Amino acid sequence: MKAEFVKSAARPDHFTGEDLPEVAFVGRSNSGKSTLINALTGQKRLAKASNSPGRTQLIQFFLINGSLSFADLPGYGYAKVPESIRSSWRPMIETYLRVRANLCLVVLVADIRRDITNDELLLIDWLTQYERAVLVVLSKTDKLSANEQALRMKKIRKALSFLPPERICPYSAKTGKGREQIWQSIGGIVQDFTKPAEE
């Protein structure tokens, strides 16, 4: 697989072209978005993963095999980020999610150990209203025993019972669990992509 960084951007007129299907990765800071992009592409340092949450403050675009685009969105919900920066993120992310014509799938990454927040429910609801396909990836399963994982899955599936079961995927960057299922979901949705018409 060939994966390369294309650019960082904050405004729609700076985004990359819209002729390739795009998958966006959203979620709280530190949930594992950048690590997931690295795990999916098999390139450890493609997207910057860090121990200091809130570092990625622009939308980062990546080109995968010359035929697919990934967008790593800045994480939200991290208290240490100044309000001035936080307040500019929200419109940026919302604008991106609303206007991006080639956006085929929104991958919402959430730590399996945390309960789904009201913010996340609102985001899924909002995306559904804009007819965006959503895949919820529950990260860091390696931090739990098999029993604990099963309990957490049951609880989260209940909270997200309005989603089809295959749209919720337990995952670990450490063990590779869920990687195949996530690629399958991406493949299934992306193959229906048709180039947006020129305005």
Ligand X SMILES: Nc1nc2c(ncn2[C@@H]2O[C@H](COP(=O)(O)OP(=O)(O)OP(=O)(O)O)[C@@H](O)[C@H]2O)c(=O)[nH]1
Residues that bind ligand X (CB under 6 A): 27, 29-35, 49-51, 53-56, 74-75, 139-140, 142-143, 172-174
CA distance 156 to 42: 28
Q: Kindly give the pairing relationship between strand 68-72 and strand 59-64.
A: antiparallel
- In the complex with ligand X, which residue's Cβ is closer, 21 or 74? 74
Question: In a 3-state reduction of DSSP, which class is residue 21?
Answer: coil
User: Residue 65: CA atoms inside 13 Å, Cβ hemisphere, count?
Assistant: 8
Nearest-approach distance from CB 43 to Mg ion, in angstroms = 14
Nearest-approach distance from CB 171 to ligand X, in angstroms = 6
Q: Which does 157 bind (CB under 5 to 8 A by kind): ligand X, Mg ion, none?
A: none
Binding mask 39-68 for Mg ion (x = CB under 5 A): -----------------x------------
> Does residue 34 interact with Mg ion by CB under 5 A?
yes
- In the complex with Mg ion, which residue's Cβ is closer, 51 or 194? 51
Q: Which does 31 bind (CB under 5 to 8 A by kind): ligand X, Mg ion, none?
A: ligand X
Burial annotation 21-57 (CB, 10 A radius, 16+ → b, else e): bbbbbbbbbbbbbbbbbbbbbebeebbebeeebbbbb
Are 66 and 41 in contact by the 8 Å Cβ rule? The answer is: no
Q: Which stretch binds Mg ion (CB under 5 A): 14-22, 34-42, 139-147, 169-177?
A: 34-42
User: Which spans of this chain sit near Mg ion (rule: CB under 5 A)?
Assistant: 33-34, 56
